[in-house]
Amino acid sequence: MNERRLQYFTGIKDGIPIGLGYFAVSFTFGIMAANTGLSPRQAIVMSLTNLTSAGQFAGLGIIKAGASLGEMALAQLVINLRYSLMSCSLSQKFKEDIPFYHRFLIGYGVTDEVFGVSVCKSGKLDPRYCYGLMSAAVPGWTLGTAFGAVSGSLLPDHLLSALSVGLYGMFVAIIVPPARDNRTLALVVAASMILSLLFSCLPGLRMISSGMRLILLTVVIAGAAAFLFPFPAEKEVSYE
């Protein structure tokens, strides 16, 4: 087996756990997409072209609220802006002579998990390794959405309601453990909950659409946390 094929299949091997995790989460997304009124085909296209759980779940809320396309685009820009930073960081691990089209195609598949696995790999990255990761991660996310969207029209309502709770369980599992050990993160979570409640209950704030509400809260809370609790400067890390 030549080096290129070895890199690709190594990426697939390392990406299988990512794909399995994506399948479980996107199954819930497929169910929620069906409940929102999207057809299975629309839900699948959304997952295949977006590849971001936070952006997609937020998008469903914006669609359900009937918000404008401008609010949808701005919300996706704010929520997914971190992937641009991840891509810039990841590009430093490629050799300088890697063609642009490789960087462009890999940018499509950069997610939190793909970035984490790629950036932790020792030495310079081979684009084919990233393609291997994407070959496991993207089908896992898309197939999970497909099964969830189809199940949304086949399973009984009480079972769908039970499965939909899995999404909130995922968010709790993501937020609670680090918040217990990080006082700043706990304050940010608490502020997010309180402000979201106020925006939903107070008469003046309730008039703001859900899409714009999401954008405002994300920018204000994240910006305030970055200003008040900046991370200390870290030593430069070498990927050689």
* Token couple for 220: 């204000």
Q: Do residues 152 and 31 make contact, with C-beta atoms less than 8 angstroms apart?
A: yes
Q: What is the pLDDT of residue 178?
A: 73
Q: Where are the beta strands (DSSP E) in the chain?
A: none
Q: Is residue 234's pLDDT more than 90?
A: no
Q: How is residue 37 annotated by DSSP?
A: T
pLDDT(205) > 60: yes
- Report the C-alpha gap between 73 and 65 in whole angstroms: 15
The pLDDT value recorded for residue 143 is 93
Given a cut of 90, is residue 27 above it in pLDDT?
A: no
DSSP per-residue letters across 50-63: H--HHHHHHHHHHH
Per DSSP, the residues of 192-222 read HHHHHHHHHHSHHHHTS-HHHHHHHHHHHHH
Average pLDDT of the segment spanning 94-107: 87
Q: Which residues pair with 125 in a beta bridge?
A: 94
Model confidence pLDDT, tens digit, residues 146-171: 998 888 667 676 666 666 666 566 56
pLDDT digits (tens, 9 = 90+) for 4-17: 888 999 999 989 98
Look at residue 94 and give its three-state secondary structure: strand
pLDDT confidence band for 217 (50 / 70 / 90)? confident
Whether residue 207 is predicted with pLDDT greater than 80 in this model: the reply is no
Pick from 19-33, 59-73, 174-188, 192-206: least confident: 174-188
What sign does the dihedral 63-67-72-78 (CA atoms) show?
Answer: negative
pLDDT for res 209: 66
- Residue 112 contacts residue 14 (beta carbons within 8 Å): no
pLDDT at 236 over 50: no
The confidence band for 202, taking pLDDT boundaries of 50, 70 and 90, is confident
